[in-house]
Chain A
Amino acid sequence: MAPRRSKSLIVVLLLIIHIAACAHYPLNQQSSSFDKQGGYRFEHLKAGPHNTDKLFICLAFSGGGTRAAALAYGVMEELRRTRIRVDGEEKSLLDEVDVISSVSGGSFTAAYYGLFRERLFTDFRTKFLERNIQGELFARLLNPVNLARIASPWFGRIDLAAELYDREIFEGATFAQLEENGRPFVILNATNLGPGRRFDFTQEYFDAMGSCLDRYPVARAVAASSAFPLLLSPLSLKNYPLAPGYEPPWWYPKAEEPKDWFTRRYDAAKNLNFYKDKKNAYVHLMDGGLADNIGVRALLDAYAHGFIQQKILDGDIKRLVFIVVNARTEGEDRLSAKASPPGFCTVLEKTGTTAMDNYSFESVAQLRAELNKREQAQEDIIAANRRLEKCPGVPKFPEPKMVDMYVVEVNFKAAEFIGENPRYYLDLPTTFCLSKEQIEKLVTIGPKLLNASPQYKCLLKVLQAEAEGRPRPKECPMGAGITGN
């Protein structure tokens, strides 16, 4: 008996070793040549039938597990319900959304809409929001075959999660389908653990890696974007620098002047160099929240030196709107009333979240500051030229393309201003399993917070006045959409 049992044990062990040895994460594809126009990049996407550049809307969905996904979903429903008229055509605000930048939990809502559009409003709740995703992940993890697979150094818990998302939520879709669908351009943000920098699943990032994004599963990008540290393992990509004919982004040449070492352009060039370096053969990604938990940084880059800036300078964008859906929570401060210093677990939790929360706050503040700076420059030049009109023969100052700008933030902290208890939402956990009641409350509070935003109210008033041929409402002058009035 004993030898037979030993033989069985050996067979089982060999089987486990075989399964583990065969398990490997799917590799991203190498590009045969660089194609500046092709692939999943904003410039290459067609606008929808009701989408204009004149009104350019960008959404940012923060991280925060199902809480963030549900809040973003509620806001999407409200944008779909909100009717506007642009150039005589009636449509929904959602029709005018051009970009969605998302992180972690918010990436599920963003990617689902990018892929399946109207289906978001019919089956996303049952397919994702109301499901116990983390329970299903745990069950898959306990499957003996999967236990053997994750024993492989080339296959981790994140790959199991990606398989689940691919099969159950995203139906095997790749970036080619997102590309085919056109705008909105969905930017799924992750964090590259090597340099500790943001990584976007866009062809621009894949260009630098000599890789083609088209055939890459969207589910894997969402998994990387939401790979919560320690609970999930990093997701890996292969770096293949450089594709034949590769051209770096326009801002890159001459960016590395030693005298400019402190600038963001220099820093961005150094980050690009990471991917150009053959020594960095792999890119290991984790939750986008580690680099930017609110999704605003990718939009700021597009505004500063990317496709948004291009469209502004070409005079295409007349009205630029950023709607930031921030599902950030904040535990009640019970520390400051105690004489004894906080314990190990509290310190660990604060260490993990404090810097990230402050950075998120600063990201939105920077967005407002950047837009405010442009608004101020516009006002100064108009005022200066008005004065110069009194001086015949004196040339006027060159004017920039004028843009009417808005920053709308949906944040639980504002719940108190609409008679709701913010504590309920601020205490919700970050998890992929919330009750139906919690989901319902989140889906309901999103539209309320959106409609209560003074900047959003101004946007709707200005759009309505313009549609009716009336002058701009006095209570919403230029600039009121950024800082409020």
Chain B
Amino acid sequence: MTEYLVVKFPKPRKVLLNDNPLGNTNDLLPVDEGGKYTVSLEKPPYDFMPPEQEIDLHDTAPLNPLEVEFEET
């Protein structure tokens, strides 16, 4: 079951899902299977908070993705 994720960050940056680069911030990211993952952003520069976030991806849709936000520091 495909789930959908958007990682919000003011700058374009590679998104890391379980430490694996998987698309870019502010894009709609289809993820083949839901469940638990760790989301972070590629570094350097280490200019975001929090360092990583645990998500449980389920019940999303292309027009209703899970939104995860990182703040610029």
Contacts and interface: CB of A to CB of B under 8 A. Distances in A.
Interface of A: 250-255, 257, 260, 263-266, 304-305, 309-310, 313-315, 373-374, 377, 380-381, 384, 397-401
Contacts of A401: 23, 27
22 contacts: A250-B17, A250-B22, A251-B32, A254-B36, A257-B35, A260-B34, A263-B1, A263-B34, A263-B35, A305-B33, A314-B23, A314-B24, A374-B30, A377-B4, A377-B30, A380-B63, A381-B62, A397-B62, A398-B6, A399-B28, A400-B62, A401-B23
Given A313-B29, A400-B29, 20 more contacts: A250-B19, A251-B18, A251-B32, A254-B18, A257-B36, A263-B35, A264-B33, A265-B32, A265-B33, A266-B35, A305-B32, A305-B33, A313-B23, A374-B30, A377-B4, A377-B30, A377-B62, A380-B62, A384-B63, A397-B28
Contacts of B30: 374, 377, 400
B53 interface: no
Those 9 A-B pairs whose CB atoms lie nearest each other, nearest first: A250-B20, A313-B23, A304-B32, A265-B33, A377-B62, A254-B36, A400-B28, A398-B28, A250-B18
B40 interface: no
A162 to B, nearest CB: 35
A309 B6 CA distance: 16
A253 B34 CA distance: 13
Interface in B1-55: 1-2, 4, 6, 17-24, 26-30, 32-38
Contacts of A381: 28, 62-63
Interface of B: 1-2, 4, 6, 17-24, 26-30, 32-38, 62-63, 65
B11 to A, nearest CB: 15
B72 to A, nearest CB: 18
B70 to A, nearest CB: 15
A260 B65 contact: no
Contacts of B29: 313, 400
Contact of B35 (A255, A373, A380, A384): A255
Nearest to A256: B35
Nearest to B61: A377
A374 B62 CA distance: 9
Nearest to B56: A257
Given A257-B35, A305-B33, A373-B2, A310 B22 contact: yes
Contacts of A304: 32-33
A313 B22 CA distance: 6
Contacts of B2: 373
Contacts of B4: 377
Contacts of B21: 310, 314
A397 B65 CA distance: 10
A119 B61 CA distance: 48
A313 B15 CA distance: 10
Given A313-B23, A398-B6, A399-B27, A254 B33 contact: no
